[in-house]
Amino acid sequence: MTKELITGNEVLAKGALAAGALMMTGYPITPTTEMMMYWAQNCAKNPDLKFLQTEDEMSAGFAMIGAILAGTRAFSASAGPGNVLMQDAFSMAENMRLPTVAFIMQRGGPSTGTVIYSQQEVNLTCFGGNGEGLRIVYSTSGLQDLYDYAIKSFNTAWKYRFPTFVLGDGYQSKMLSDVEIYDPKEKNIEIIDAHPYLLNPNKTVDTYINLRNTYNLESELHEVLLNHKKAFRDIMPEVIEYEDIHTLDADIVIFAHGIVAAAAKDAVEMLRAKNIKVGLFRPITLSPFPRDSACQVLKNKKAILIAESSLGQFSRLVLSNLYCPENLRIYEMLEPAVGINSNEISQKVEEILKEMV
């Protein structure tokens, strides 16, 4: 176990290595390009590692699926328009219950937008493609999160066989910070083995199965989707994660995710120092969303503030999952394509308090 001063992109690559990944597929796109560069450098040192730079992100997504079907623990990474192009492959993985892992470092949109930061890929990552959104999405709040959830994402994907994402952003990609790098064995984390998914469940080499991505009858697909939905619901209690800070006695609860939640955490401490009763609820899994825990937090609260670097993608996700008391006031702080710092959140909370008097 060591402390290293590294960037977020390097952290994710190191996390993938620690989780036993053997192959990365991808196409260069800011802000994830350095992740591929670091992986390629490791491939030059270790012949067991593979890297495939494809002609575009669509090809990268399907190349990842091909490697996984053959039994290789593979992953990809992208952002913005590249994330859009990968949705076809992610939908295929959802339909066939394949253990895909993708690191999505959000950038501003729509389209090319900006190349560094926003939180505008929540809809796309959680619900993109022509499926039902049966995906597991971890929203990270800093570089240590990137390492921890990079490792966890592989285990989650291979255990439950749903597409799994680490959703960060351009700030986390580019920032430099001390990160605790560890071997999963040091923390008693067992890495789940990969095996060829074209083989039957007992993994014999002479018997194969037919994994289907298309169905002749609507009734066939109907049954498959209902079974997938049931399987997703069954794993939710094991997968759901969230962070709850000072919400028990809070009058106002901030809802935030990702790097904005890191700023909100500092804001909560600043406001608490002024004897202002405010708390933070941070969903770590945006999908599945921690609905029951979030609703429990709302009891006896006066207001909630939803803060995000988007024009309401996270807000819609939150409000669609909450059973809000009639007297609860709902405020939004929507700042697409720019960061939100702790002082701005603190100021917004104090404005809300004055309005409520």
Burial of 268 (0-12, 13-18, 19+ CB in 10 A): buried
Same domain, 49 and 172: yes
Same domain, 145 and 252: no
For residue 147, the domain's CATH number is: 3.40.50.970
Domain boundary at 197, 214, 239, which? 239
Same domain, 284 and 322: yes
Same domain, 148 and 129: yes
Domain boundary at 207, 239, 271, which? 239
Give residue 71's domain range: 2-239
Strand order in the sheet with 278-283: 242-245, 278-283, 252-255, 303-308, 329-334
> Rounded to whole angstroms, what are the CA distances from 255 to 243, 245, 268, 289, 300?
10, 11, 11, 13, 16
Same domain, 307 and 183: no
Same domain, 170 and 228: yes
Same domain, 65 and 157: yes
Same domain, 41 and 92: yes
The pLDDT tens digits along the chain (357 residues) read 899 999 999 999 999 999 999 999 999 999 999 999 999 999 999 999 999 999 999 999 999 999 999 999 999 999 999 999 999 999 999 999 999 999 999 999 999 999 989 999 999 999 998 999 999 999 999 999 999 999 999 999 999 999 999 999 999 999 999 999 999 999 999 899 888 877 655 555 556 667 888 999 999 999 999 999 999 999 999 999 999 999 999 999 999 999 999 999 999 999 999 999 999 999 999 999 999 999 999 988 999 999 999 999 999 999 999 988 888 999 999 999 999 999 999 999 999 999 887
Same domain, 155 and 251: no
Tell me the C-alpha distance between 178 and 307, whole Å.
26
Looking up tokens 């994907």 gives 157
Residue 255, strand partner residues:
281, 306
Phi-psi region of 29 (alpha: psi -120 to 50; beta: other; left: phi over 0): beta
* One-letter identity of residue 19: A
Buried b (16+ CB within 10 A) or exposed e, 4-30: eebbbbbbbbbbbbbbbbbbbbbbebb
Same domain, 223 and 334: no
Tell me the C-alpha distance between 164 and 142, whole Å.
18
Predicted TM-score (pTM) of the model is 0.96
Are the CB atoms for 68 and 77 separated by under 8 Å? no
Q: What's the total number of domains in the chain?
A: 2
Same domain, 255 and 227: no
Are the CB atoms for 105 and 146 separated by under 8 Å? no
Which secondary structure element, helix H or strand E, spans residue 104, and what is its range?
strand 101-106
Domain boundary at 219, 239, 259, which? 239
Same domain, 305 and 235: no
Tell me the C-alpha distance between 218 and 216, whole Å.
7
